[in-house]
Chain A
Amino acid sequence: MVNNEIFVHAEGALRFVQASASGGGASGARVWATASAPVSGTLAYVESFSFTSGQTIQTIMDRGVPTHHKVTQHDAIQVTFNCLYTGDFMAPVSASGATVPMWHLEFEANDAGNGNTGRYVRFHGVAVQSMQFTENPQGDTLALTCVALGMLGPTGTGYLG
């Protein structure tokens, strides 16, 4: 992949698909397992989007001298976005029982400068933590804060885009 150009807001797209509640067995919902006949689509009127990934690093000492690192924990991925309220905003999923309704999200940065390909980042097992509605003169907004079990990317291929 060449990487000479910046990516901008106007090239992005955020897509969703209903996630399977049970996911992939032992790995839980951290894999890309979709619900039965899942609803999917592109989120519209998105005004801002961000994600934060993190991990806990433990530096190991040898006789008081730092010698190497160990990853002791992968943090859940924080995903936030603001979009305009259109009245038909999709609920994540309609799973019932003890399962938590979840999306899988896929962010695409259109890579027009590289043969019109894309850079994709996938977020697996995304649950909505909070949804804030605000009425505004230029469009009522929804601010969503989500948490994902894991992420993959950037990659050169997408599932939804």
Chain B
Amino acid sequence: MTTVHETSTFNAEASMNLWLQTGLADITKPAWLPAYTIALNMPQGGITPPCFSVIHLPVSRRSRWQGDNVGNGKTGRRAASLMDVSIWVSRQNAAYMAQAMAMTAMLEGVVMGTQTVPFYDYWSNPAVPVLTAYKIVLGDMNIAETETDPNPDIYRRRVLIRYDWTVRSNQ
């Protein structure tokens, strides 16, 4: 009987979501910035501006090591993904640009303060994930250009955060 290893992509994405939510919540928001929402299930769940939305874009699972040996009897590869965070604001608010820039700065602050994100095991218990001994390493943060949204009310900024980790074979 095998189970999926703690470093699975499932746990990686969930742990990154937890990190971002916790990091944003730790920031003391200025009074002029309205309460924001975080959408982790876009586009199915929709957005309510001002909003952070998160999706993950797996990039590669590179074979880098002799026999893919990664220790503790496991084989694995080096994984890279992009955390695609979009910031959505409504032009109905006169200060929509200030909102977008402030939310970008919040995101920037969270990323700049983090080098590694610990893995939480959601496979065993999604409600109360368990901290593991594995980690994700954060890489570059880039601001990506976006097309004008088809909804004229919406202004969007898009940020891509690269992250790497070692994904391992099943237990």
A10 at the A/B interface (Cβ < 8 Å)? yes
When the two chains form their complex, are residues A13 and B65 in contact, meaning their CB atoms are under 8 A apart?
A: no
How many positions in chain A have a CB within 8 Å of any CB in the partner chain? 19
Q: Is the interface of B mostly helix, strand, loop or mixed?
A: mixed
Report how far A56 CA is from B139 CA in the complex, Å.
51
A-B contact pairs, 24 of them (CB 8 A): A10-B63, A10-B66, A10-B67, A11-B67, A12-B66, A13-B67, A14-B66, A42-B69, A42-B71, A43-B69, A44-B72, A45-B65, A45-B69, A45-B71, A46-B65, A46-B66, A46-B69, A47-B65, A48-B66, A49-B66, A83-B65, A84-B65, A110-B67, A138-B164
Report how far A42 CA is from B71 CA in the complex, Å.
7
A86 at the A/B interface (Cβ < 8 Å)? yes
B70 at the A/B interface (Cβ < 8 Å)? yes
From A9, A12, A45, A48, contact of B70 by CB (8 A): A45
- 1/0 per residue, CB under 8 A from B, across A1-37: the answer is 0000000011111100000000000000000000000
Closest to A14 in B: B66
Seen from chain A, the residues whose Cβ lies within 8 Å of a Cβ on chain B are: 9-14, 42-49, 83-84, 86, 110, 138
B67 to chain A, nearest CB (A): 4
Residues of A within 8 A of B84 (CB): none
